[in-house]
């Protein structure tokens, strides 16, 4: 932009002037890389005849819009979008009487409009036609009445709530209505009188519900309808076929049911159709698509469609994206897919397709993404004819034979998923280093032997692919050592080598994996001490070393302030670790302490876009292995079982408030079970069996209302088993092998003195404490009664005021047999009230004498 002060401002870029008066009436500074703050005394507010002001796509440093903007009484068009404004929107904007178009969208999340100003804006400005306030924080209901002049209203993600008024659909000039991403906005669509000029309607990600009214077919000007992620139900109305001008139709993520209406075949202008994730759409896919020759994207994913692949798809010559995954389609892959020359994305995963993969499938010249996982496909993989493929997912089928060597020529390949097949042969893993864009490599659960170049035995190669994010070679024929060359700057996030025959040590170069979140090298033959330097990995959340030959203590030797602070799953079971439990590490398991953070949102680790790759692992509870195909971020577990740990269970474990599973069984732990374990309110499984623990079972464990699996067997626990609460849900085998335990659910009864009594209410407890004190005082009085009433009363009076004598309690408790003590106690209890009343009367008389 060049403004020359020596020239007429009407010639400057972005300045528009009235030809007759010479006044500046328009100022367009959009996309001018402006930065800083607009000051209230800026000369721009002196342009008194300004009608159009556009400051969009600049950077105003999260500053507020000056109130002086209200001086532009003649302003008709105001655009402040995408310019990093923040703070309260001045009410003066809602009072600009000539305003026709207003765009304040897409600024900072702190950009707010007061509800009363929002209402005034939509009701009082009678000339206003276009309003875009998307991503402005309004947090209001939509006014019941709106200006009839409105032709476009965009309120995406503004915090609208309450019931959507019918009148929003009845404005006579409205052609665009976008109320999307307002999750608290509810209501139903009106059955009649919807605005017929509507061309664009987006109500996605709201809580609107009910059936789509037949009247929606009267909106014949509609070319864009998006109702994604609402709560609509019922069948798709037949009248939808009347929308002959529509080009975009998205009804995904609702609860529509039944068959597809045949009237959809009338939508000949349609380019994108998405009916995915309704789950209840069913039946065979009808030949309604034969006429939709303009379709470029078709998604029927996540429904109950059955039968063969629809033959009508072959007519869709413009089709680029086809997703029919997660249905119940059956039969072989149809050859008519070959007739789709523009197809670049084909997803047919999670169906019941069978037969072999035809060779022509790898010959489609435009194919970029291919997803056929979780079907019943058999036979070998064919050689790849074109290099355009970026994603291949053939996992969880019944494929056999070797991986074709031509796969290394797919220079654009980013994701390769071949897990869960019967692939065999020898793979030179070095060859994948040629795929410079490879990010996801999943070869787990096959019968592959992996070697390096010119080696006859199946050894792990060096990992030199910097882009690699996921490497899963779980349950294959790997032998040898883990490679030592983890390059600096690598992006590895998940390394899973579980269930092989790897030996040697854990390479220290793994400290270069700064993004590593999941490390699973369990069930190998690794012989090493605890790799304490893993504590320096800032993102590590899952660490599995189980069933190897690790030895020595588990302790920190570095000066890292918060070692393993993000760890959610640690499994060191079935090794030869020794020494005390790793208290230093446990005290820094911050991710296991924060209940609030863990419970806010259900998310899966490793969640990515199409291919839905989720981090997974195996955990052991109650002695049984459980596959976690998706690791919820709220799942936390500590398994240190079957080692040689000794010492006590540290109290600090009680601070891990979001811990779900704790297994310390089959060690040599001693001491008591910490009562602080009762603070693990999220705990679902606790196994302390086969240790040397003693003492009583803490009653506090009964407070663990989610605890469904408990094993305290094979220890030296004593006393009664607590009653009530969660303890009533466990069987006798939870306590077996503790010869001094008694009470239900064990068959061994406790003696009367050992039978637990439920604690009294606080008020009763307080009274009984007083009773005990005064009662014991009168035991002394009764013992001294034969020595003289005066002496007895005197001693009793002293005891009454100074409390019970501990030395005497000790003598009585040590010398008297239990039955005698109970007899004396009964006698004392019967006499307590009578003697107490007599003493009180005596002292009252004495006090009256001295008063």
pLDDT tops 80 at residue 656: yes
- Between CA 757 and CA 764, with CA 762 as vertex, the angle to 5 degrees is 70
Q: Residue 844 — pLDDT band, cuts 50, 70, 90?
A: very low
Contacts 24+ apart (CB under 8 A), 612-618: 613/415, 613/417, 613/440, 613/442, 613/470, 615/494, 615/517, 615/518, 615/542, 617/496, 617/498, 617/518, 617/520, 617/542, 617/544, 617/569, 617/571, 618/498, 618/522, 618/544
Task: Return the H-helix or E-strand segment holding 647.
Answer: strand 644-647
What are 33-77's pLDDT values in tens digits?
Answer: 999 999 998 888 989 899 999 999 999 999 999 999 999 999 999
- The pLDDT, as a whole number, for residue 831 is 45
pLDDT tops 90 at residue 846: no
Q: How far apart are CA 272 and CA 606, in angstroms?
A: 29
- The pLDDT, as a whole number, for residue 633 is 56
Q: Residue 720 forms beta bridges with which residues?
A: 742
Task: Return the H-helix or E-strand segment holding 268.
Answer: none
**Domain assignment present for 549:** no
**Domain assignment present for 174:** no
- The pLDDT, as a whole number, for residue 806 is 41
- The pLDDT, as a whole number, for residue 195 is 76
Domain shared by 726 and 773, yes or no: no
As a whole number, mean pLDDT of residues 469-475 equals 92
As a whole number, mean pLDDT of residues 285-292 equals 91
Cβ(194)–Cβ(217) under 8 Å?
no
Calculate the average pLDDT of the chain. 85
Domain residues for 381? Answer: 344-411
As a whole number, mean pLDDT of residues 381-408 equals 93
Q: Residue 125 — pLDDT band, cuts 50, 70, 90?
A: very high
Residues 6+ apart with CB under 8 A from 724: 702, 758
Domain shared by 193 and 273, yes or no: yes
**Domain assignment present for 424:** no
Domain shared by 362 and 385, yes or no: yes
From 274, 298, 330, the end of a domain falls on 330
- The pLDDT, as a whole number, for residue 621 is 60
From 390, 411, 432, the end of a domain falls on 411
pLDDT tops 80 at residue 5: no
Q: Residue 489 — pLDDT band, cuts 50, 70, 90?
A: confident
Domain shared by 584 and 655, yes or no: yes
Cβ(640)–Cβ(577) under 8 Å?
yes
829: left (phi over 0), alpha (psi -120 to 50) or beta: alpha
Q: 710: closest CA among 720, 694, 718, 698?
A: 698
pTM assigned to the model: 0.78
- The pLDDT, as a whole number, for residue 821 is 40
Domain shared by 236 and 353, yes or no: no
pLDDT tops 60 at residue 512: yes
> Lowest-pLDDT range, 94-103, 628-637, 714-723?
628-637
pLDDT tops 90 at residue 689: yes
pLDDT tops 70 at residue 4: no
Q: Residue 762 — pLDDT band, cuts 50, 70, 90?
A: very low
Residue with the bigger pLDDT between 799 and 683: it is 683
Cβ(155)–Cβ(180) under 8 Å?
no
Q: Residue 478 — pLDDT band, cuts 50, 70, 90?
A: confident
Domain shared by 626 and 711, yes or no: yes
Q: Residue 206 — pLDDT band, cuts 50, 70, 90?
A: very high
Q: Residue 629 — pLDDT band, cuts 50, 70, 90?
A: low
Buried b (16+ CB within 10 A) or exposed e, 243-258: bebbbbbbbbbbebbe
What are 305-323's pLDDT values in tens digits?
Answer: 999 999 889 999 999 999 9
**Domain assignment present for 545:** no
Total residue count of the chain as it appears in this document: 851
- The pLDDT, as a whole number, for residue 819 is 37
As a whole number, mean pLDDT of residues 749-765 equals 51
Residue with the bigger pLDDT between 487 and 814: it is 487
- The pLDDT, as a whole number, for residue 622 is 56
pLDDT tops 60 at residue 601: no
Q: How far apart are CA 638 and CA 330, in angstroms?
A: 43
DSSP letter, residue 513:
-
**Domain assignment present for 6:** yes
Q: Residue 362 — pLDDT band, cuts 50, 70, 90?
A: confident
> Lowest-pLDDT range, 308-322, 338-352, 430-444, 664-678?
430-444
Residue with the bigger pLDDT between 639 and 635: it is 639
Q: Residue 228 — pLDDT band, cuts 50, 70, 90?
A: very high
Domain shared by 195 and 251, yes or no: yes
Domain shared by 750 and 771, yes or no: no
From 708, 730, 754, the end of a domain falls on 754
Domain shared by 736 and 783, yes or no: no
- Enter the tokens of residue 370: 């291919």
Q: How far apart are CA 437 and CA 416, in angstroms?
A: 11
Per residue, what are the HEC states of 198-247?
CCEEECCCEEEEEECCHHHHHCCCCCEEECCCCEEEECCCHHHHHCCCCC
SS3 state of residue 336: helix
Q: Residue 826 — pLDDT band, cuts 50, 70, 90?
A: very low
> Lowest-pLDDT range, 182-191, 413-422, 629-638?
629-638
As a whole number, mean pLDDT of residues 544-550 equals 98
Cβ(576)–Cβ(551) under 8 Å?
yes
Q: How far apart are CA 459 and CA 446, in angstroms?
A: 16
pLDDT tops 60 at residue 455: no
Cβ(131)–Cβ(153) under 8 Å?
yes
SS3 state of residue 483: coil
**Domain assignment present for 487:** no
Cβ(482)–Cβ(460) under 8 Å?
yes
Task: Return the H-helix or E-strand segment holding 709.
Answer: strand 709-711
**Domain assignment present for 540:** no
Residue with the bigger pLDDT between 465 and 207: it is 207
- The pLDDT, as a whole number, for residue 838 is 53
Domain shared by 129 and 198, yes or no: no
pLDDT tops 70 at residue 9: yes
In terms of Cβ atoms closer than 10 Å to its own Cβ (0-12, 13-18, 19+), residue 207 is middle
Domain shared by 124 and 210, yes or no: no
Query: For residue 102, what are the CA distances in angstroms to 45, 77, 122?
Result: 18, 6, 11
As a whole number, mean pLDDT of residues 790-816 equals 41
Tell me which residue has tokens 């302790």. 555
Q: How many distinct structural domains can be found in the chain? A: 5
CATH number of the domain within which 195 lies: 3.80.10.10
Backbone angles phi, psi at 408, to 5 degrees: -75, -10
Buried b (16+ CB within 10 A) or exposed e, 596-624: eebeeeeebbbeeeebbbbbbbbbbbeee
Q: How far apart are CA 171 and CA 145, in angstroms?
A: 10
What are 692-730's pLDDT values in tens digits?
Answer: 999 999 999 999 999 999 999 999 999 999 988 889 999
pLDDT tops 70 at residue 760: no
In terms of Cβ atoms closer than 10 Å to its own Cβ (0-12, 13-18, 19+), residue 85 is buried
Q: Residue 617 forms beta bridges with which residues?
A: 628
Q: Residue 227 — pLDDT band, cuts 50, 70, 90?
A: very high
As a whole number, mean pLDDT of residues 601-628 equals 52
- Enter the tokens of residue 115: 């509800």
- The pLDDT, as a whole number, for residue 555 is 87
**Domain assignment present for 628:** yes
Backbone angles phi, psi at 257, to 5 degrees: -135, 170
As a whole number, mean pLDDT of residues 442-452 equals 80
As a whole number, mean pLDDT of residues 837-842 equals 50
Domain shared by 780 and 715, yes or no: no
Cβ(217)–Cβ(236) under 8 Å?
no
As a whole number, mean pLDDT of residues 732-756 equals 84
> Lowest-pLDDT range, 134-138, 421-425, 487-491, 577-581?
487-491
């Amino acid at each position: 932009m060049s403004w020359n002060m020596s020239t007429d401002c009407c010639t400057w870029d972005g300045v528009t002037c009235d030809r007759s008066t010479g006044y500046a009436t328009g100022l367009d500074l959009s996309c001018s890389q402006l930065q800083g703050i607009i000051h209230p005394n800026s000369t721009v507010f002196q342009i008194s005849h300004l009608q159009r002001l556009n400051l969009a796509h600049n950077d105003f440093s999260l500053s507020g819009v000056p109130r002086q903007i209200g001086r532009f009484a003649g302003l008709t068009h105001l655009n402040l979008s995408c310019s990093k404004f923040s703070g309260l929107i001045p009410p003066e904007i809602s009072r600009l009487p000539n305003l026709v178009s207003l765009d304040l969208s897409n600024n900072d999340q702190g950009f707010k409009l007061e509800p009363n100003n929002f209402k005034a804006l939509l009701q009082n400005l009678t000339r206003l036609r276009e309003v875009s306030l998307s991503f402005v924080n309004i947090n209001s209901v939509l006014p019941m009445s709106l200006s009839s002049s409105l032709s476009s209203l965009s309120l995406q993600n503004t915090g609208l709530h309450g019931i959507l008024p019918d009148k929003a659909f009845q404005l006579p000039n409205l052609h665009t209505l976008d109320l999307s991403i307002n999750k608290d906005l509810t209501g139903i669509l009106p059955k009649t009188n919807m605005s017929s000029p509507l061309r664009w309607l987006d109500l996605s990600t709201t809580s609107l519900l009910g059936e789509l009214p037949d009247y929606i077919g009267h909106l014949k000007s509609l070319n864009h309808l998006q109702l994604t992620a609402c709560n609509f139900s019922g069948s798709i109305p037949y009248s939808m076929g009347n929308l002959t001008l529509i080009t975009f139709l998205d009804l995904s993520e609702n609860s529509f049911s039944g068959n597809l209406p045949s009237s959809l075949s009338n939508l000949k202008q349609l380019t994108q159709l998405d009916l995915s994730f309704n789950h209840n759409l069913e039946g065979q896919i009808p030949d309604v698509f034969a006429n939709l020759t303009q379709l470029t994207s078709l998604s029927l994913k996540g429904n109950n469609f059955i039968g063969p692949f629809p033959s009508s798809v072959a007519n869709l010559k413009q089709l680029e994206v086809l997703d029919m995954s997660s249905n119940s389609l059956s039969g072989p892959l149809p050859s008519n897919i070959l007739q789709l020359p523009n197809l670049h994305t084909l997803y047919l995963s999670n169906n019941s397709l069978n037969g072999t993969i035809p060779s022509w499938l790898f010959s489609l010249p435009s194919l970029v993404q291919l997803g056929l996982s979780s079907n019943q496909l058999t036979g070998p993989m064919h050689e790849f004819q074109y290099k355009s493929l970026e994603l291949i997912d053939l996992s969880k089928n019944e494929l056999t034979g070797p991986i074709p060597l031509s796969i290394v020529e797919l220079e654009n390949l980013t994701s390769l998923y071949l897990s869960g097949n019967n692939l065999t042969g020898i793979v030179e893993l070095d060859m994948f280093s040629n795929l410079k864009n490879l990010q996801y490599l999943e070869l787990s659960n096959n019968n592959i032997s992996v070697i390096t170049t010119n080696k006859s035995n199946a050894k792990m190669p060096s990992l030199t692919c910097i882009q690699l994010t996921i490497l899963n070679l779980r349950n294959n024929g790997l032998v040898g050592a883990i490679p030592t060359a983890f390059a600096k700057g690598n992006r590895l996030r998940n390394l899973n080598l579980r269930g092989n025959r790897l030996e040697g040590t854990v390479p220290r170069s793994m400290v270069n994996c700064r993004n590593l979140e999941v490390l699973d090298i369990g069930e190998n033959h690794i012989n090493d001490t605890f790799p304490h330097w893993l504590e320096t990995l800032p993102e590590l959340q899952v660490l599995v070393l189980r069933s190897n030959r690790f030895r020595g203590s588990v302790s920190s030797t570095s000066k890292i302030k918060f070692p393993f602070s993000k760890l959610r799953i640690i499994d060191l079971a079935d090794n030869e670790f020794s020494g005390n439990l790793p208290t230093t590490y446990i005290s820094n398991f911050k991710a296991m302490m924060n209940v609030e953070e863990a419970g806010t949102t259900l998310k899966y680790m490793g969640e990515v876009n199409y291919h839905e790759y989720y981090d997974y692992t195996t955990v052991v509870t109650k002695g049984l292995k459980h596959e976690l195909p998706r690791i919820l971020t709220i799942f936390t577990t500590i398994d240190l079982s079957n080692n040689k740990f000794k010492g006590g269970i540290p109290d600090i474990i009680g601070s891990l408030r979001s811990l779900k599973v704790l297994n310390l069984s089959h060690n040599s732990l001693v001491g008591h079970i910490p009562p602080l374990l009762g603070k693990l309110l999220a705990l679902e499984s606790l196994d302390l069996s086969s240790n040397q623990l003693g003492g009583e079972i803490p009653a506090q464990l009964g407070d663990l209302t989610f605890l469904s699996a408990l094993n305290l067997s094979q220890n030296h626990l004593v006393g009664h088993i607590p009653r009530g609460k969660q303890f009533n849900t466990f069987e006798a085998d939870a306590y077996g092998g503790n010869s001094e335990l008694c009470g239900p659910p064990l068959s061994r009864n406790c003696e009367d003195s050992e039978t637990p009594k439920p604690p009294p209410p606080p008020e009763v407890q307080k009274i009984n404490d007083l009773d005990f004190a005064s009662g014991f005082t009168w035991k002394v009085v009764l013992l001294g009664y034969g020595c003289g009433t005066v002496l007895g009363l005197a001693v009793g009076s002293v005891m009454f005021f100074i409390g019970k004598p501990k030395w005497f309690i000790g003598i009585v408790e040590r010398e008297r047999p239990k039955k005698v003590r109970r007899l004396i106690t009964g006698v004392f209890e019967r006499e307590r009230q009578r003697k107490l009343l007599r003493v009180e009367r005596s002292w009252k008389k004495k006090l009256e004498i001295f008063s």
